[in-house]
């Protein structure tokens, strides 16, 4: 007897997320990555029969700092992890020639340093050396293919809970606003997912000593202890990218807006925008609103983002120095596309009202 029933359609991404959370013990899961569905709709609303097969997920790393030691250290660590798991390495993209040159020189220095180096580590440094050569280096996102894959971009720097800035090993401080401006200049695709690859970049409060973190994660109550999303580097970066002032949006799309208005922003308009970034004329705001809007999702971390365990110092009573161990873990099933960087708990725009 023939089975004429229509075959069951595969689950959607939201259904798959819901099923995963149920397997982890969440009673009534509410997937928190609805922004991602909006983002992917920009990619998937094509006639797929006319396109080439899906490509591997593209992963890149950027740093806003002149000092490249932390940039190199994380490129090395994530690269070695990728090679061990048979995945493509995370490729660095450089903000300017000076940063590229410093990165290239450091890669050559690491390769020529005395001492033992494993085959995987050597292969990683060789690839980073080649990627930072002036003939091969990526200086922006213009060559990134966004038709069948959304790029994942790691923004690299040291961070801490409740700090809207990230830092280099040389203690250079860079604000989320400056990072957003840098990404604009580099032509960040609007379908990119950003990961604020800094310790505690997604939490206003330090959760290191909080009990039952895995349980709170399963119950989806972790964000109630994490503080306000807007007070974190990741939240601030997402705000700067997706909901900036009219002045910032104008600077992003200056040539297009000036063409629509038949004139650039005048001196008086520049003065008003200096004191109030939203104080532009109604006509110019309408022209800006007609431009494509960003919808980049930013992921922050509620713990350290190291490959292994982190030992941190803390001052105790009577000047005594104690040590605390933070272990980087992943809660729930391990996604084979997320092997490159492990954080205690990742966090996207929160679902808790008022957070």
Instruction: Give DSSP secondary structure letters for 53-105.
Output: PPPPPPEEEE---S--HHHHHHHHHHHHHHHHTT-PPPEEB-SSHHHHHHHHH
Helix, strand, coil share of the chain (percent; to 5) = 40, 15, 50
Alpha-carbon separation of residue 1 from 4, 5, 101, 160, 260 (angstroms)? 9, 12, 70, 65, 66
**Residue ranges of E strands in the chain:** 59-62, 91-92, 152-156, 165-167, 173-175, 193-197, 297-301, 309-315, 321-327, 346-347
Residue 70: burial class (beta carbons within 10 Å; 0-12, 13-18, 19+): buried
Find, among 204, 202, 164, the residue nearest to 298 by Cα.
202
In order, the DSSP letters of 269-287 are HHHHHHH-TT---HHHHHH
Check: CB of residue 248 under 8 Å from CB of residue 280.
Answer: no
How crowded is residue 152: how many other Cβ atoms within 10 Å of its Cβ? 20
Pairwise CA distance, residues 188 & 294, whole Å: 10
Pairwise CA distance, residues 184 & 249, whole Å: 10
Pairwise CA distance, residues 13 & 11, whole Å: 7
Res 309: pLDDT: 41
How crowded is residue 112: how many other Cβ atoms within 10 Å of its Cβ? 8
Check: CB of residue 203 under 8 Å from CB of residue 216.
Answer: no
Res 218: pLDDT: 65
pLDDT in tens, the chain (355 residues): 555 555 566 677 777 777 776 766 666 666 554 444 444 444 444 444 544 444 456 889 999 999 999 999 999 988 998 888 888 899 999 999 999 999 999 999 999 988 888 999 999 999 999 999 999 999 999 888 887 667 889 999 988 888 999 999 888 999 999 999 899 889 888 888 888 988 888 888 877 777 776 677 667 677 677 788 889 999 899 888 887 777 777 777 777 778 888 888 888 777 777 777 778 788 887 776 776 666 678 888 877 776 444 444 444 555 555 554 443 333 333 333 332 334 445 666 654 433 3
* First vs last C-alpha separation in the chain: 58
How crowded is residue 354: how many other Cβ atoms within 10 Å of its Cβ? 5
Q: Is 206 helix (H, G, I), strand (E, B) or coil?
A: coil
């Amino acid at each position: 007897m023939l089975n004429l029933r229509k075959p069951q359609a595969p689950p959607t991404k939201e259904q798959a997320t819901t099923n995963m959370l149920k397997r982890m013990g969440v009673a009534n899961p509410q997937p928190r990555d609805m922004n991602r569905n909006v983002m992917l709709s920009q990619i998937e609303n094509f006639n797929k029969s006319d396109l080439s097969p899906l490509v591997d997920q593209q992963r890149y790393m950027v740093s806003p700092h002149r000092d490249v030691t932390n940039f190199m250290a994380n490129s090395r660590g994530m690269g070695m992890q990728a090679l061990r798991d048979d995945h493509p390495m995370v490729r660095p993209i450089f903000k300017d020639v000076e940063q590229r040159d410093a990165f290239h020189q450091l890669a050559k220095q690491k390769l020529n340093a005395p001492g033992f180096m494993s085959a995987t580590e050597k292969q990683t440094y060789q690839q980073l050396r080649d990627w930072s050569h002036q003939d091969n280096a990526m200086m922006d996102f213009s060559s990134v293919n966004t038709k069948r894959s959304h790029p994942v971009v790691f923004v690299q720097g040291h961070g801490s809970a409740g700090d809207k800035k990230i830092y280099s090993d040389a203690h250079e401080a860079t604000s989320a606003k400056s990072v957003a401006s840098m990404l604009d200049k580099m032509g960040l695709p609007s379908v990119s997912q950003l990961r604020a690859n800094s310790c505690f970049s997604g939490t206003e409060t330090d959760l290191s000593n909080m009990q039952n973190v895995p349980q709170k994660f399963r119950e989806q109550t972790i964000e109630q202890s994490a503080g306000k999303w807007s007070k974190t580097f990741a939240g601030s970066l997402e705000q700067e990218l997706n909901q900036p002032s009219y002045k910032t949006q104008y600077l992003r799309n200056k040539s297009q807006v000036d063409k629509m208005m038949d004139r650039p922003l005048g001196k008086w308009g520049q003065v008003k925008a200096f004191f109030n970034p939203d104080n532009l004329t109604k006509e110019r705001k309408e022209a800006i609103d007609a431009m494509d809007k960003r919808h980049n999702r930013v992921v922050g971390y509620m713990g350290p983002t190291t490959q292994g365990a982190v030992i941190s110092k803390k001052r105790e009573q009577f000047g005594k120095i104690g040590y605390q161990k933070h272990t980087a873990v992943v809660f729930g099933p391990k996604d084979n596309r997320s092997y490159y960087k492990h954080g205690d708990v990742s966090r996207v725009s929160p679902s808790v009202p008022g957070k």
